[in-house]
Amino acid sequence: MHLKFTKMNGIGNDFVVIDTINQHINITKNMVKRIANRHRGVGCDQLLIIEPPKESHVDFNYRIFNRDGLEASQCGNGARCIAKFIYDQGLSGKRKLLVSSIGGMLHIELVGKNMVAVEIQPPSFDPKKVPFKTEKQDKSYKLEIMSRMIEFVPVTVGNPHAIIFEKDIRKINIRQIGRDFQKHQSFPNQVNVNFAQIINKDLIKLRVFERGSGETESCGSGACATAAAAIRDGLVNSAVTVQQKGGHLKIVWPNESDRIKMIGEAKTVFQGIMNI
């Protein structure tokens, strides 16, 4: 079976995007793993699927699969790429879109040739929504990881994140700490582990160890979750830049009841046809 695809990039987070409106495909776990394989497939952090909407007021439905083959609930960088793909492929002439995903509704707007703004559901620090198992709700929590107590903030923006503030994120063992957090029984659905360094009120440096993908060059939902935790605790301003290895995102969250906005690049790398 021949399948058209587009390879895209959102500040270093790379995707294979497939339009299932104009072509039919049944996604399987093994298929995702083959496509995402960087040696024997196209290679990507996540596979993104565009589908017809399931509700009349929605423009499109959007699915995300990590390279381990499991479906994810949210991907901020992917949402920006989806918006550019939809517009460039002529699937819609609208520059503002409402897109549904497992993690909730996304309000997406093309604000430049390669610049896209995405509004995600208001962040929640309720441990039941993350989910994170604890006897009582608090501002932060501690788990014993690698023989030391690590303080973190659990937050969801449609997918779960654990935010760890560090003095220098270059010196952390991100692979081991990330894996230990993800398999901890306190996170029944695992968790994306974010290591953040506050540079000043306008800048956060960030590394993210993602579920199903490991450390990636950038994570859009991770940037939103991290900024939300820092804004809530007064560590940064309500509009802040989050710098990751792949590039930077502008995150804006003026009030706790508001959707959180992310603005950043989305680029097409190449298009092709694969044999599935």
CATH 3.10.310.10 fits 141-258, yes or no: yes
Query: For position 276, what pLDDT does the model report?
Result: 82
Query: For position 13, what pLDDT does the model report?
Result: 95
CB 269 within 8 A of CB 13: no
Query: For position 271, what pLDDT does the model report?
Result: 98
The answer to the question of whether 211 is labelled as a binding residue is yes
Checking phi first, is residue 85 left (phi over 0); if not, alpha (psi -120 to 50) or beta? alpha
The answer to the question of whether 220 is labelled as a binding residue is yes
SS3 helix, strand, coil % of the chain, rounded to 5?
A: 15, 45, 40
The domain limits of the chain are 2-121+265-275, 141-258
Q: Please work out, in degrees rounded to the nearest 5, the angle formed at the alpha carbon of residue 265 by the alpha carbons of 269 and 58.
A: 95
Which amino acid, residue 113? K
CB 60 within 8 A of CB 91: yes
Backbone angles phi and psi of 163, in degrees to 5: -100, 120
Q: Is the dihedral of CA 262, 268, 271, 276 positive or negative?
A: negative
d(CA 141, CA 38) in angstroms, rounded, equals 37
Active-site positions?
Answer: 75, 219
Beta bridge partners of 154: 162
Query: For position 186, what pLDDT does the model report?
Result: 97
- Mark the ranges of the chain whose per-residue pLDDT is less than 70: none
If you count them, how many residues does the chain have? 276
Reading the block at residue 204, the tokens are 């956060």
The answer to the question of whether 41 is labelled as a binding residue is no
Query: For position 153, what pLDDT does the model report?
Result: 98
Instruction: Please list, in sequence order, all residues whose beta carbon lies within 8 angstroms of the beta carbon of residue 198, skipping any fewer than 6 positions away.
Output: 165, 204, 230, 235, 236
Query: For position 99, what pLDDT does the model report?
Result: 97
Query: For position 1, what pLDDT does the model report?
Result: 83
Please provide the average confidence, as pLDDT, over all residues in the chain: 96
Beta strand 46-51 with 60-66 is antiparallel
Rounded to whole angstroms, the maximal C-alpha distance in the chain is 54
CATH homologous superfamily for 2-121+265-275?
A: Diaminopimelate Epimerase; Chain A, domain 1 (3.10.310.10)
Is residue 266 helix, strand or coil?
Answer: coil
Q: Note whether 2-121+265-275 and 141-258 share their fold.
A: yes
Query: For position 113, what pLDDT does the model report?
Result: 87
Per DSSP, the residues of 130-194 read: TT---SS--S-EEEEETTEEEEEEEEESSSEEEEEE-S-GGGS-HHHHHHHHHT-TT-TT--EEE
The answer to the question of whether 13 is labelled as a binding residue is yes
The answer to the question of whether 46 is labelled as a binding residue is yes
d(CA 249, CA 92) in angstroms, rounded, equals 25
Query: For position 208, what pLDDT does the model report?
Result: 97
